[in-house]
Structure 1
Amino acid sequence: MSGNDLLKVAIDMGVDTPDFIPSIPTFKNELKSEFKTAYDTFTKAFKLIETDPSLAVGLVNSALESIIKEILKDERINSKVKGTETLYKLTTIILKEFNIIDKNHPVEIKTIGSSLLAISQSIEKLRSEKTDFHGKTADDYLLNDTVYTYFIVNSVTTVGLFLNSYFKTKFPKPKKINEEPDDLPF
């Protein structure tokens, strides 16, 4: 079995793949348990990296949009979405909600927050301008190199894992209180 095929099998099985896209199995497991729609979309995208890089980029963009929309649906978050927002707009909303780009943060934190916004904007622009999603002519650049597609997919996994981890840390699920009857008559 070739190294590439072995790597694909390991990733599909959720086996850690050190030194090469190590966040993919973790990301897929997080999505599978918490974001069903994003999981299905991401899984399709990942399978298409080698055969249809353009479609893979469009699908990972959609997967990240789904994750952010699911997080923003939480009743403890003030901002609500209409459902028509772009990835850039959704990222702007969630960074504001998470207070990541606050003016009182050190410049380095604000820079990283702005970089998250730039990553989302770049993924969205790649999907819109460098893939088959909005019609192309023979002279247009079309993303078809799988090395860059892996880079984009890894960027989405990193951002998605961070946003979900931050959400779970700052907005932990309320613990359920088990109310057991105590058989007392009063």
Structure 2
Amino acid sequence: MAKKYAVFSDAGVLKSLLIHGVHDIPKRAIEINEEQWQQVNAFVDSIWTWTPKDGLQKSDREVNHSQRISAARFRYETAGIRFGDIAIDTGRDGQILITGAALSAVVDPTYRCTWKALNGPVELNAQQLIDIAAAVRTHVQACFDRENQLLEALAEGSYAEDMLTQGWPT
């Protein structure tokens, strides 16, 4: 299982979660264990802080389950994917860039480019660009599909807290 990290502001407030092998890990990132990772993802509506003395702590706010579901979808959607040995950015900008490159590949089957993957530059041909764009689109759609499933469960009254960390594409 990949190592997971959290980045905190100078005031100690959680800014972002990162996965080794998918994201560049800054020196100031703090490694967190799987249990802490799951806690933060299960309580996305909380403010998380870190101090050397107290470690990772959460501050509860009123729970808005639909906002938590949407926030979880966005985190999973934009967390990146692996395409073979290539770590691909699935943030909104990354989605746009790979779509544009794939369009160029469709127009010109001889198209090649050096792609700035999360784990370094890689030379890609037209078919690889199309395949990566399809994989990114499949990932993004699966995240929206899972969000919809959770929102339906919420509307039906069958939603449970632990569902928020289950069933997402990896």
TM-score by length of 1: 0.32
Q: Higher helix share goes to which structure?
A: 1
Q: Which has the larger radius of gyration?
A: 1
Whichever structure has more strand as a proportion of its residues is 2
Identify the structure with bigger relative contact order (alpha carbons < 8 Å, sequence gap 6+). 1
